[in-house]
Structure 1
Amino acid sequence: MKIQNAWLKAMTAAALCMGLGGCGGNGDSVAGSAGTGSAINPSEVGSNSPATPSAYRVVVNSQNPDYAGVSRTFQAPACSQNADTPRAGGGVYSIHLTSASGYTIAFSVFEPKSFDCSKGNPLVFHGHGFGGSRETTPSGLLKRLVDNGIGVISIDQRGFGESTGSVRVLDPDYEGQDLLQILDWAEAHLDWLRYRNDKPVGNRQYNAVMGSTGGSYGGGYQLLIHNIDPWKRLDALTPDITWNDLRYSLNPGGAYGIKDFKPADGEVTPQGVVKTGWDALLAFGGEEGSIAPKVQAGNFQAVPSSGLDNLIRETLVRGVAANRFPAGALEFFRYHSASYFCDDEVAGTQSFLQGTLTPKYPQTKPDPVDILFSQGFRDSLFNFNEAWRNFQCYRNLVAANGGKGDVRLITHQNGHILPVSAYGQPVVGDLAEQGAQNGLNTIEFQRPAGPRACGDLSVDDADFAFLVSKLLTADESAAIAKQDTTGAFQTLAANQNKICVSMNDDVGQTKASAGAATWIPVGQFAAHNAPAVKGGNTDSLLDPVTFKFDPQSDPTSAATSGVLGLLRDVPAPAAVPVYTPASDVALAGIATGTVSITPTVAQLSNPACTQILAGASQSPVGLLGVDPACDPIVFLGLGVYRNNAWRLIDDQPTAVRGFGTRHVELNGVAEHLKAGEKLAILVYGYSPQYPVSGSRDPLSPVVVVQGTLNLPIAPFGGQ
């Protein structure tokens, strides 16, 4: 999610939009008192079943029987009807549509450099990150596509850039309808679109050849289109650093995405912890990215209906106040996620203080499709677990449909990173520097990002090769591959059933450094069964390991469950060594197992915890998160001992909340462990990625943490 000068610029935007009622009063949120019915505006979303499209003639596809007999009004003819005198390509222009609810949908069209008047040209959609806006001139990957005969449409998502309305975070019933309207516009106005008959849908024997690209929010929109488009018009998707389940992204630690989860005898249901670092930054960035462009353009009438939707503001306010998200809001965010369509978990009620939502779309499994997922192991907003669940979901769809479809996964060392600099200069940066000069430790949110590449394979090169190979003919693709000097075409072709695992997270290394990446066959990928099914097997070189941290036996490294652990390294994390490899290995995947949290003094446990938590969940703000002797929170991670210190691998702490034993899945990591290097379980009482959502339990400051974990250890075969 792209944040631009989020901290300082957001202050101006936030001043325009104080409180829950200050912005977003556009009729999109729930109207009336709580429980009064649906928040969906039927005039905007339309009916559940699309009307049969009108038959029309396609100039460059005159033999297409689906569109014979009726002409369309094109934006500008690319080719004459006899295809003898095509005009030049390469045009750039912007379009502003009006959505069904009266808001603006803005996007830019980049014509292919040259038109193919016999077969037409494919089209790729591009989406920006959260808080960002569309591209208005092609550059980078988009220019490479245009130069090679593929048109591009870059979109301002609802509420951002020149598009108006409130930001509902890719709601199928709002952003989803705007996106489908753009696809409809492209078919009605671009006479150079390519059609082919290898994917008939409904009464359409021919379908437009379309793909998509983008990262973060620009990855989420791609999955949304594919999951709700009745004509299945996207043929190839390339989402980078995007989410599978926003419940997990924003409130990790719960039993989200674990198929058929039921606590075993004696186990408790995992509880989520509000990821306040990212939640706050996204709130500021969302408000600024939506409101500021309208102010700068003088479009002041759009300001009151811009910014985050009131439902999202309510969720964030209640989440921070109560130290937990309300259950109804979690269901709202799940509806905005691929997991809603992928998983078998029954959907719950989307309820708010402002009312209850009735979603438009049923939980229908999407069709198989060609997708290249890419994901950063250093990403602390959408971590590797999200990419793995997406990869599993869409790969399973391919397997269930006779193997038709190509689903890939590559990783890198970039993504959503929270260094101190993310919060803007000079305010926080100056304070940190002054503190260091006075001998104070600086809170290290995360180390800087590494290469956006898996070894020698950059994400942009991989996306380009994937889109070209899927959208163009074999001969066209081969001709482009022959001129390509990156090696991406050959690399993808040679590793179709492998995952590229990036292990280069040391700042200063180049993407091609020794040990930077390894390709692991999907069937041998460590922990390849674990995330989908509770207690699933871990394909590892190791038997499960046990660990125990008891602060009474090691008081010098005591990690607290609350306010005492104010800095990442002071006090030092409790480190419980669990493994030392005899030869080089790859730590790559998701560690799973069980973790137990118990009080150091049994008498401090509260027998009324169940009743307290039940009562808190019924309150708009819970008990302000103060749940006496009921709510310890610790953070676990895998660490490697280097340069005389323990280092948290990939900056990935996993929140574990509440007394009792529960099934856990640590955040996925990847590391090249050399012979003799120590691996440990690190235990923290505080994480700066969760600045105001640590334990607020005054009676559980110190706890015992122990468990059993399956570690994803595989042979190393890196570059």
Structure 2
Amino acid sequence: MTVVPFSKLLLVALLGATLGLSACGSDDTPAGVAGPNNPTNPNEEVEQAVVVLVNANNPDFEGAPRDFTAPACSASSEEPREGGGIYSVNLQSASGHNIAFTVFEPAEFNCERGNPLVLEGHGYGGSRASSPRGIMGDLIEAGAGVISIDQRGFGESGGSVRVMDPDFEGQDLLQILDWAEANLDWLRYASSPKPAGNREFNMVAGATGGSYGGGYQLLIHNIDPLKRLDALTPDIAWNDLRYSLNPGGAYGIENFEPAEGNIKPTGTVKSGWALLLVAGGESGSLSPKLQAGDPMALQTSGQDNLIRETLLRGATANRFPEGALEFFRYHSPSYWCDSEAAGAQTFLQSEVTPGLAQKTPDPVDILFTQGFRDTLFNFNDAFHNFSCYRALEDDKGKKGDVRLLTHQSGHILPLSPSMVPGLADLTEQGAQNGLNEIEFQKPGGPFACGALSIPEAQFAFLVEKLFTPQEAAAIKNASESNAFTTLAANKGKVCLSLNDDVGQGTASENAAVWVNENTFFSNLGPQAKGQPTNSNTQPVAIDFTPGADPLNVLTSAVTGILRYPFAPAVMPIDLPAGVNVVAGIPTATFEIAAPVDMLMNPLCSQIYSATAMSPIGLAGLEPGCDPMLFVGLGVNRNGAWRLIDDQVTPIRGFGKRHVELTGVAERLAEGETLGLLVYGYHPKYLATASRDLVTPLVALRGTLNLPTLQNLMP
């Protein structure tokens, strides 16, 4: 390491004190004068000014041997070499497998204050970037370096895919950060209350990516003892993989006990997405190794055998085993956010012992973005992540700057009549004659919240958090984007995308609304998991009891599948005058009942017990015990009912239970009607349906709480 004279460090410290750095514990405005010298507030405790310096001059590593890779600032800080280089790195992980990533150097090195680092991650089944993609190019030009990562098992990284396991993927990711600190002399460091242990400075780093590339960001922050990430921008990420892959259970609730007269709800396997993820995960992991001629690829890569076991047992038994659900929870932010105690991760092959105990994460700046049309990681995932990380405080009571923007894209099941010539016209004609549109979901819409582009918002957020105020101002002035001013003007608000221009690439006018965070949490979603939404409107009574109207008879099992091509059962909902927007998470108390008491098997509890003891359940055969329905809010537009944002929520089993429906956002035009749509089968749950052949008809009763807004003009 280069030994830095004290006089130079003092000069750097004085320079850093005048700059400040919003990402590392300082306020957006310069610190004032402390104590009694401040006449407006003599008791004010003012944070120390932030010192910014380059890694090559970081005194924390004095005496520690470091052999910088491709040094830029070590030899001569006055004349750094040219930036913009790209090179790949391979490390051996603690589990003995390769970790592959690519370093994209900043366009220009700053050997006085260093350059921020941003991690970039791919989606499930993907691989690292070989050239700048997404916002990487803008970040590099602005002065940040980027490391694009092949996550464990994907691309050129080895090992089996365990889906962001803290003990495997998590440790690999921390090893990449360790490598960066030891090998990149141009990294930016700053002093602040954030450094852990005996460090005076901590690296200035952010992260970006969507889906699987969003999940890794939260994982790093949750487990890194050095707290090295300052700003995260996860798009379409999960909160609890149990909910994402098996919705309907009582997840994230401490010491859950059903209310009197209620049942413990059971999850439903989201088989449409499960099948797609299996195919994408196996292909994305195995293909690069097989193409490279790796003779051990089939033994060492692909999805982990524990995940394969889970999917096989889920398909056979029509439900995921409890031990596997706990395994997936350990790989989720909910493990760190929720007070629910961790359960045993038990498999047929072994029992997995987690390496990390639950703890509350530290506060951090995060821009969450989520698509309302996303049917894998939906709006509820973002809502609960936003709620968790927004509330975190450090030991001085300081919180992170946590935001939420929504859009009309995300995980879209890529199967639609429009993909087959002529079939779209046929299904449209069928819909006009009372038939249902047979498709997984409609194409995604704009990757924007109103006029605010999501990528531009992510770039602006990272710039604000990782660069000094002076640098950020210069980057903003050189940009034509409205994201900098829009984010600044709407701090403390959530952007809800109301756009319904399906399949169009740009947002239309008046396609979003900014809602104050207090209103958002008070009226547009549950106060906590398992609690109702405090609606501005009266609860809506729901009653689908078999009666005179044959179109509203609820079918399950085989009859539900046969019924699907026809229009769903619908209950129109009258909204109060002036209420024309549904936006947020509806909640309900729903009871599935047999239309005739004798249709309900009195031996259900014994059958459930036998199912739990069997490694493959009872092949899903639970006669008279296991009805399934799929419910969602819909709108009658141009004479036909259609689901809002293509979202349905499964309800399973006889009895009464609390239900958190999937969040949606829609502005109703003049003459349009809101309704509750109920299906006995839905293709998003492709291979999942009730196998209870004794119960072809059921009743649904209860109350529904709607998240609504008033008088939003078209």
Task: Using structure 1 for the length normalisation, give the TM-score.
Answer: 0.88
- Per-residue deviation at 1:100? 1.8
Given that residues 559 and 574 in structure 1 are in contact (C-alpha distance below 8 angstroms), is that contact kept between their aligned partners in structure 2? yes
User: In structure 2, what is the equivalent of residue 619 of structure 1?
Assistant: 614
- Per-residue deviation at 1:483? 1.6
User: In structure 1, what is the equivalent of residue 119 of structure 2?
Assistant: 125
What runs of 5+ residues in structure 1 fail to find an aligned partner? 1-57
- Per-residue deviation at 1:706? 1.2
* Distance across 2 between alignment mates of 1:148 and 1:559: 58
Alignment map for 1:273-288 (pairs within 5 Å): 273-288=268-283
Given that residues 561 and 702 in structure 1 are in contact (C-alpha distance below 8 angstroms), is that contact kept between their aligned partners in structure 2? yes
1:215 aligned to which of 210, 231, 246: 210
In structure 2, do the counterparts of structure 1 residues 477 and 433 end up closer, same or farther at CA, with 3 Å as the change threshold? closer
2:299 aligned to which of 296, 304, 311: 304
Alignment map for 1:163-562 (pairs within 5 Å): 163-198=157-192, 199-398=194-393, 402-420=397-415, 429=420, 443-507=438-502, 509=504, 511-525=506-520, 527-528=523-524, 530=526, 532-538=528-534, 540-562=535-557
In structure 2, do the counterparts of structure 1 residues 416 and 327 end up closer, same or farther at CA, with 3 Å as the change threshold? same
Secondary structure, aligned partner of 1:566: helix
Given that residues 546 and 709 in structure 1 are in contact (C-alpha distance below 8 angstroms), is that contact kept between their aligned partners in structure 2? yes
User: In structure 1, what is the equivalent of residue 144 of structure 2?
Assistant: 150
- Per-residue deviation at 1:76? 1.2
Determine if the alignment matches structure 1 residue 109 to structure 2 residue 103: yes
In structure 2, do the counterparts of structure 1 residues 645 and 467 end up closer, same or farther at CA, with 3 Å as the change threshold? same
Q: Given residue 508 of structure 2, which amino acid in structure 1 is its aligned partner?
A: S
* Distance across 1 between alignment mates of 2:130 and 2:98: 17
Computing the radius of gyration from Cα coordinates, the structure with the larger value is 2
- Per-residue deviation at 1:681? 1.0
Secondary structure, aligned partner of 1:410: strand
Q: Deviations over 1:54-111 (max 9, x none)?
A: xxxx993565331223441011111244411110000000011111222110000000
1:582 aligned to which of 577, 583, 587: 577
* Distance across 1 between alignment mates of 2:289 and 2:368: 33
User: In structure 2, what is the equivalent of residue 31 of structure 1?
Assistant: none
Q: What is the alpha-carbon root mean square deviation over aligned residues?
A: 2.3
In structure 2, do the counterparts of structure 1 residues 163 and 520 end up closer, same or farther at CA, with 3 Å as the change threshold? same
* Distance across 2 between alignment mates of 1:649 and 1:97: 47
* Distance across 2 between alignment mates of 1:681 and 1:556: 14
Secondary structure, aligned partner of 1:582: coil
- Per-residue deviation at 1:418? 1.0
- The one of the two structures with greater contact order (alpha-carbon pairs below 8 A, sep at least 6) is 1
Given that residues 585 and 661 in structure 2 are in contact (C-alpha distance below 8 angstroms), is that contact kept between their aligned partners in structure 1? yes
* Distance across 2 between alignment mates of 1:511 and 1:455: 9
* Distance across 1 between alignment mates of 2:287 and 2:56: 46
- Per-residue deviation at 1:459? 1.1
- Per-residue deviation at 1:434? 12
Given that residues 592 and 665 in structure 1 are in contact (C-alpha distance below 8 angstroms), is that contact kept between their aligned partners in structure 2? yes
User: In structure 1, what is the equivalent of residue 14 of structure 2?
Assistant: none
Q: Deviations over 1:285-334 (max 9, x none)?
A: 11011011112222233332111100000000000110000000000000
- Per-residue deviation at 1:676? 4.0
Q: Given residue 481 of structure 1, which amino acid in structure 2 is its aligned partner?
A: K
In structure 2, do the counterparts of structure 1 residues 642 and 568 end up closer, same or farther at CA, with 3 Å as the change threshold? farther
* Distance across 2 between alignment mates of 1:517 and 1:497: 16
Determine if the alignment matches structure 1 residue 596 to structure 2 residue 591: yes
User: In structure 1, what is the equivalent of residue 642 of structure 2?
Assistant: 647
Percent identical: 60
User: In structure 2, what is the equivalent of residue 608 of structure 1?
Assistant: 603
User: In structure 2, what is the equivalent of residue 657 of structure 1?
Assistant: 652
In structure 2, do the counterparts of structure 1 residues 291 and 713 end up closer, same or farther at CA, with 3 Å as the change threshold? same
* Distance across 1 between alignment mates of 2:234 and 2:509: 27
In structure 2, do the counterparts of structure 1 residues 77 and 611 end up closer, same or farther at CA, with 3 Å as the change threshold? same
Q: Given residue 560 of structure 1, which amino acid in structure 2 is its aligned partner?
A: T
Q: Given residue 133 of structure 1, which amino acid in structure 2 is its aligned partner?
A: S
Given that residues 324 and 347 in structure 2 are in contact (C-alpha distance below 8 angstroms), is that contact kept between their aligned partners in structure 1? yes
- Per-residue deviation at 1:196? 0.3
- Per-residue deviation at 1:556? 2.7
* Distance across 2 between alignment mates of 1:661 and 1:213: 41
Q: Given residue 90 of structure 1, which amino acid in structure 2 is its aligned partner?
A: G
In structure 2, do the counterparts of structure 1 residues 286 and 421 end up closer, same or farther at CA, with 3 Å as the change threshold? farther
Secondary structure, aligned partner of 1:444: coil
- Per-residue deviation at 1:202? 1.4
* Distance across 2 between alignment mates of 1:568 and 1:679: 22
In structure 2, do the counterparts of structure 1 residues 171 and 508 end up closer, same or farther at CA, with 3 Å as the change threshold? closer
* Distance across 2 between alignment mates of 1:89 and 1:393: 39
- Per-residue deviation at 1:340? 0.4
Q: How many residues align?
A: 657
Secondary structure, aligned partner of 2:473: helix
User: In structure 1, what is the equivalent of residue 667 of structure 2?
Assistant: 672
Task: Using structure 2 for the length normalisation, give the TM-score.
Answer: 0.88
- Per-residue deviation at 1:497? 0.7
Secondary structure, aligned partner of 1:293: helix
User: In structure 1, what is the equivalent of residue 698 of structure 2?
Assistant: 703
